[in-house]
Structure 1
Amino acid sequence: MATLGMSPAEKDAVAAFRRDVVEPSMTQLVIIDFWAEWCGPCKALGPVLEKVAAAYADKGVVLAKIDTDKNQFIAAQFQIRSIPTVYAMFQGQLVADLTSARTESQLRTMIDQLLRQLPIQSEATDQQAELEPLIAMGEEVLAEGDHERALSIFGQLAEMAPEHPAVLSGHIRALVAAGLHDEAQAAIDALPADLADPGIDRAKAALALAQAAPAVDDLAPLAAKVQAAPDDHQARFDLANAQMAAGQRDAAADNLLHIVAADREWNEGAARHQLLKLFEVVGLTDPWVSAQRRRLSAILFG
C-alpha cells in the first residue's frame, strides 16, 4: 500500500497492518478476519477461527483480526463489502477467500489444502527437517540388525516427537526386533484410535509376524529336517518362520517361495500370506521387497 497523500491516521493504520499482517505472512499463513463489534455472525465465527488458528499454530498459521469500524481505511483497501470476510495471506499476497467456511471442519479442510501447496515455515516443518536424518539413521541401524542401538535411537526420538508416525513405527519395530513383544503391544495399544499411517501398519505387521514366528535358539535341527525331507512343506514353513525371527529374510523368502512354487495352495496359501506379511514388515517400497515380488509374480504368473 502506497502511503503518499495519506493522513497521519491512515499511515499509522498501514504501518500497523504491515507489521501485524504482511510481515508475518512472509513465512507464515495469516488468516485475516474482518469483523465488527455489532456483527452477530462475526461473533459466532470468531471463536471458531481462534480455535482453528490455535490448533494450527505449530504448522505456521496465525490469526489477524481487523475491526472494520476502527480500520475503515484498511477495509476499504480490501474492498470489504460485508462481514465477516475471511482471507488467507502468504508472502504479502491473498491466496484464498475463506469466507464460505463457517465450521471448524470446513476451515480445517481449506487450511490443510493451503498448507500442502505453500512453503510455510513452522515449528512442525523445522522439527521434520531435524527429525528426518535421525529417523533415517534409526532405520539404517535397525535394518543392520543392531536392535539395541535402534531401540535407543528411536526411544530418544520418541521423547522429542512422541506423536510422529515414523518415530512411533520405528520405536515399535525396534521393540519387536529386541524381543520386547509385550512392550510393543502396549505401545500399539496406546496409539490414537484414528491414527492411520502406513508406517504404523508396518509396525503392527512386525509384531503380528514376530508373534506368529517365535525365535528359535538353534536353526540347525529345522534345517536338517528340511534337508532330509525337501517336500515336507510344514517343516520348511517352520524353518522360514524361524529364519524370519532370526532376521534371515533372504533365506526365509527362499523357503516360502519354494513352497509357493511347489504347491501354492498348501495350507490355504499360508506360505504366500506369510511372505506378504514379511514384505509389509520390511516396507513395500524397499528394493528388496520389489525383487522378491518379481520372484513371486514369476512363480504365480510365469
Structure 2
Amino acid sequence: MGLNLDEQKAVDRFRKTVAEPSMSQLVILDFWAEWCGPCKALTPVLEKVAAEYADKGVLLAKVNVDEEQFIASQFQVRSIPTVYAIFQGQPVADLTNARTESQLKQTLDQLLEKLPVQPGGEPAKPDIAPLIAMGEEALAAEDGERAASIFMQILEMAPDNGEVLAGLIRGLVMAGRLEDAEQVVNGLAPEMASDPHVERARTALELAKNKPDDSELAALRSAAAERPDDMEAQLAFANAAFAAGERDEAADTLLRMIQSDREWNDGAAKAKLLQIFEAVGLEDPWVSATRRKLSTILFG
C-alpha cells in the first residue's frame, strides 16, 4: 500500500480499536487533543452516553490527533473535536455537533433503529467460504501465484483457519516458492501444525522438496521408458515427476504399476498415489478423475 512502518502501525492500531469492533458494534470515534478545551468539555458527555448505551452495542474510541496524525489525515480532520459514528468500518454519521446528552442520544437512537448493531460486542465473522472457493479454483487451474495471493488475503481475516493456511502452503508450493512455504510451516502454532488440512499441505511441500533438475528428470524418464518392468525405476520417476510438477506423468506411471502388480513392495505404488491425492487436495477435480481411474483398476 506504500505505507511506511509508522503508518502501518497506526493502521493496525486503528483496525484493532475501531474497524474490527465496528463490524458488529456502533463505534463513537472521537478525535481530540490534550490542548483542546472543547474536547475536554465534550469527553464526559461522550463517555457517559457510551456507558449508558454499551448494552445496545455502542462503543467509544478516542484518537489523539497529535499521536495519530496519519489516521486523522485519512479522515480529513480539520478541527477538533471531530466525532463520527462508525459501523462496519465506515462513517455513518457526523456526531460533531451533538454536544449535549440529549442530542447525542437522539442521534444514536436513530442510527440504532436503522443499523444491524449487535449488542454484546461479539465481532461479526466475515464469510470466507466464497473466498476459499476462489482460492481452490486457482489451485485447480494450477495457478499457484494467484492461489497464494488469495489465501494470503483470506489469512488476514481468518489467521487460525487450517484450511486457509493449507491453501496458502499449497499455492506457494505450486508456484515453486518452496522456501516461502517452508517459512509458513515453520511458523505454525502447534495446534495448527496438527490440523488435517495443514498436514496434507505439508505432505505436498515434502514431495516438492525432492524436485529434480531437468537433466535428472530426463534421465529418470528415460530409465523408466527403457525398463518398463523395473518397478524401482518406475517409482523413482513417478516421485521425480510429481516433484517437478508433472502430476499427470506421475499418476499415469503409478497407475500402470498398480495395474501390473498392485502388491509390489507392500502396495508402494498405491500408497504413493494416495499421498499425491492428499498433497493436491482431495476435493480437486484432477484427484477425483484420477481416483476413478484407480477404482477402475482395483475393482474393474
Structure-2-length-normalised TM-score: 0.52
How many residues matched? 184
Check if 1:150 corresponds to 2:150.
no
Match of 1:185 in 2: 182
1:137 counterpart = 2:134: yes
Specify whether residues 159 and 215 from structure 1 end up closer, same or farther in structure 2 by C-alpha distance, changes over 3 A only. farther
In the TM superposition, what is the alpha-carbon distance from 1:122 to its structure 2 partner? 6.1
Point out 4+ residue stretches in structure 1 off by more than 6 angstroms. Answer: none
Aligned to 1:210: 208
Q: Deviations over 1:177-220 (max 9, x none)?
A: 23333432332233232335432122122122223x42432544
- For 1:284 and 1:227, the matched residues in 2 are separated by 29
Q: Work out the percentage of aligned pairs sharing the same amino acid.
A: 50
In the alignment, structure 1 segments of 5+ residues that lack a partner are 1-18, 25-120
Gaps of 5+ in 2: 1-52, 58-120
Q: Indicate yes or no: 2:168 matched with 1:171.
A: yes
- Asked which structure has the greater RCO (Cα within 8 Å, sep 6+), the reply is 2
> CA RMSD for the aligned pairs?
3.0
Q: Which amino acid aligns with 1:258?
A: R
Q: Is the alpha carbon distance of 1:301 and 1:217 closer, same or farther for their aligned partners in structure 2, counting shifts above 3 Å?
A: same
CA distance in 2, matches of 1:288, 1:146: 14
What is the CA–CA distance in structure 2 between the aligned matches of 1:20 and 1:153, rounded to whole Å? 36
> Quick one: which amino acid aligns to residue 139 of structure 1?
E
| Partner Cα distance (2:140, 2:245) in 1 | 9
Deviation at 1:232, TM superposition (A): 1.9
TM-score by length of 1: 0.52
Secondary structure at the aligned position of 1:227 is classed as helix
Report the residue type matching 1:180 in the other structure.
Answer: R
1:71-110 to structure 2, matched below 5 A, reads none
Aligned to 2:198: 200
Cα distance in 2 for residues equivalent to 1:278 and 1:169: 15
Question: Matches of residues 12-27 of structure 1 in structure 2 within 5 Å?
Answer: none
- Between the aligned partners of 1:293 and 1:268, the Cα distance in structure 2 is 20
Secondary structure (helix, strand or coil) at the match of 2:191 reads coil
Residue 228, structure 1, aligned to residue 226, structure 2: yes
Residue-by-residue CA offset, 1:234-279 (whole Å, 9 max, x unaligned): 2222222222123332221110011112122333322111101111
Counterpart Cα distance in 1 of 2:288 and 2:150: 28
Per the TM alignment, residue 140 of structure 1 is displaced from its structure 2 partner at its CA by 2.1
Cα distance, 1:20 vs structure 2: 8.3
